[in-house]
Amino acid sequence: MSEFLEVICMLMRQINGEGLKIFNNNWVGVPIVTVWMLFGCNLIMDQLYTGEIFSCLTAMTQPPVPTTFSGLIDSDLHFVTSSWYATGVGTQSSMLQGKIIPVYKAIFKNISGRMNQLREMERRMILVNTTSFQRNVEVFENITESRALRHAKGWVDTVKPFAIMDPAYVEVFWERVLKISGRQHVLNVREDTPFHIVMVTYVDNNFMSEVFRGRLAQLASFGIAKLWTRLDEWDSILVYVRSVYGELVQVEFRKAMAGVQDTSLGYEDEPVLFKYVQSLFILGTLILAAAFLGFMIECRNPCLHNVKFLYELCGDCVITFVKEM
């Protein structure tokens, strides 16, 4: 039994001087164990297993955020919106609750499943007060500091995930300002949503229109239009960044103008999944089984006689060794 334990310890890289004596006159076990030590055990124990542990400890996994409209409704997320319209002197209402959702209710009035989803969304919709610059700053500070967002229905715990529903340009504003802090993970949900964006551009048609169109086309061909668009997008964002983050605004402005991809956030990293290295584990297990077989065949110690060894291979196949007297 001592030799049996020494073999197991050796295959798990627990080697001592006395344990090496079983290598004497063994021409099968030595090369197999050598391959196992250099390849199988080193790869599995030192690389994959250790790497899996450090990966799980250091990588930030994706939060369980719904990727479809149905999944969003079935979740327990709050729906935060900042788009509002005035309903009176000093009173505001949500654009989604008061204008957009009623339109879709009329469209889907004969589809009970969609109507229930819209009613549930309307019930959980929360309007945050962004009627002034200072109100906006307070909202962003509360989110970045993980403080609760107060509203008419109660409060929203910003430590937990929540959904933001606003027009596209407002979503871009939220996303960029919140990502600068590096404390929030912002995901864009684009699949299977019944809400659409309609953009209309108009211009007066007079004798000067063609002149302006020609000049603007020249500027667009030189890339000036894209630069103006980028400046316009970042103008209001950087104003809030200066109020919330201070001097960080200069760094973010240089990144925006240079088109630098922000790599400071490590949220996209994921732990190594076992399915990607499953074949290597199976190969290492086979090498381990071959090494074990080699030692058992060549060991001639009397204490191993009349002993039945059960070795489970890959969880299903059980191999029994019986040595006759």
Mind spelling out the 3-state secondary structure of the chain? CHHHHHHHHHHCCCCCCHHHHHHCCCCCHHHHHHHHHHHHHHHHHHHHHHHHHHHHHHCCCCCCCCCCHHHHHHCCCCEEECCEEEEECCEEEEHHHHHHHHHHHHHCCCCHHHHHHHHHHHHHEEECCCCCHHHHHHHHHHHHCCCCEEECCEEECCCCCCEECCCHHHHHHHHHHHHHHCCCCCCCCCCCCCCCCCCCCCCCCCCCHHHHHHHHHHHHHCCHHHHHHHHHHHHHHHHHHHHHHCCHHHHHHHHHHHCCCCCCCCCCCCCCCHHHCHHHHHHHHHHHHHHHHHHHHHCCCHHHCCCCEEEEECCCEEEEECCCC
Tell me the average pLDDT across 266-282.
56
Question: Which residues, in sequence order, are CB contacts of 183 under 8 Å at separation 6+?
Answer: 144, 146
pLDDT higher than 60, residue 101: yes
Nearest by Cα to 293 from 254, 260, 320, 256: 320
Assign 319 a pLDDT band (cuts: 50, 70, 90).
Answer: very low
Indicate the range of 75-79, 84-88, 93-97, 161-165 predicted with least confidence.
Answer: 84-88
What is the rounded CA–CA span in Å between residue 186 and residue 42?
39
Q: 126-183: per-residue pLDDT in tens?
A: 888 777 788 878 887 888 887 888 766 667 787 788 888 877 767 777 777 777 777 6
What is the rounded CA–CA span in Å between residue 138 and residue 131?
11
What is the rounded CA–CA span in Å between residue 93 and residue 137?
20
pLDDT at position 323 is 38
pLDDT at position 126 is 83
pLDDT higher than 50, residue 325: no
What is the rounded CA–CA span in Å between residue 189 and residue 170?
14
Assign 45 a pLDDT band (cuts: 50, 70, 90).
Answer: low
pLDDT at position 315 is 40
Tell me the average pLDDT across 113-122.
87
The amino acid at 33: V
Q: What is the mean pLDDT of the chain?
A: 68
Cα 288–292–298 angle (5° rounding)?
Answer: 145
pLDDT higher than 60, residue 42: yes
Tell me the average pLDDT across 5-20.
65
Tell me the average pLDDT across 112-118.
87
Q: 229-263: per-residue pLDDT in tens?
A: 777 777 777 777 777 766 666 676 666 666 544 44
pLDDT at position 311 is 39
Locate 10 and state its tokens: 């050796």
Give the whole-number percent of the chain exceeding pLDDT 90.
0
Tell me the average pLDDT across 191-205.
50
